[in-house]
């Protein structure tokens, strides 16, 4: 059964304390892995697409990496404005979303 699991469910960081979020997946025929950021009361905002193992993408303090079984979203020196829920999704025959990691960055 295709599925996506994100961990941890919630993460609290001090400002400047780097960490990583995990997205593990079991799908047959991966056709893309996507990271989104979602603020309360808003729709998900697209961050990255990764297509093959070994691929990396960066945007400001965020860096996404992909292996054959999981993806990591690394957050370097986070700021309070990085607080949000981060969603991972994979595309095989259809889109599958994880439940997200709620990130809180404390000043």
Partner 1 sequence: ETGVTQTPRHLVMGMTNKKSLKCEQHLGHNAMYWYKQSAKKPLELMFVYNFKEQTENNSVPSRFSPECPNSSHLFLHLHTLQPEDSALYLCASSQANPGQGYNEQFFGPGTRLTVL
Do residues 25 and 32 touch, judged by C-beta distance below 8 A?
no
Measured between alpha carbons, how far is 46 from 8 in angstroms, rounded to an integer? 20
Measured between alpha carbons, how far is 33 from 96 in angstroms, rounded to an integer? 10
When the beta carbons of 9 and 14 are compared against partner 1, the nearer one is: 9
User: What's the closest the beta carbon of residue 97 comes to partner 1, in angstroms?
Assistant: 4
Using DSSP, state whether 82 is helix, strand or coil. Answer: helix
State the binding string over 20-59 for partner 1 (x if CB under 8 A, else -). Answer: -----------xx-x-x----xxxxxx--x----------
Q: Which residues bind partner 1 (CB under 8 A)?
A: 4, 31-32, 34, 36, 41-46, 49, 87, 89, 91, 94-99
């Amino acid at each position: 059964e295709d599925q996506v699991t994100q961990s941890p469910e919630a993460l609290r960081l001090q400002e400047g304390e780097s960490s990583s979020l995990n997205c593990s997946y079991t799908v047959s025929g991966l056709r893309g892995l996507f990271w989104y950021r979602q603020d309360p009361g808003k729709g998900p905002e697209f961050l990255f697409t990764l297509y093959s193992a070994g691929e990396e993408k960066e945007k400001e303090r965020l860096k996404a990496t992909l292996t054959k079984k999981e993806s990591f979203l690394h957050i370097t020196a986070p700021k309070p404005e990085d607080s949000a829920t981060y969603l991972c999704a994979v595309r095989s025959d259809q889109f599958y979303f994880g439940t997200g990691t709620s990130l809180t960055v404390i000043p």
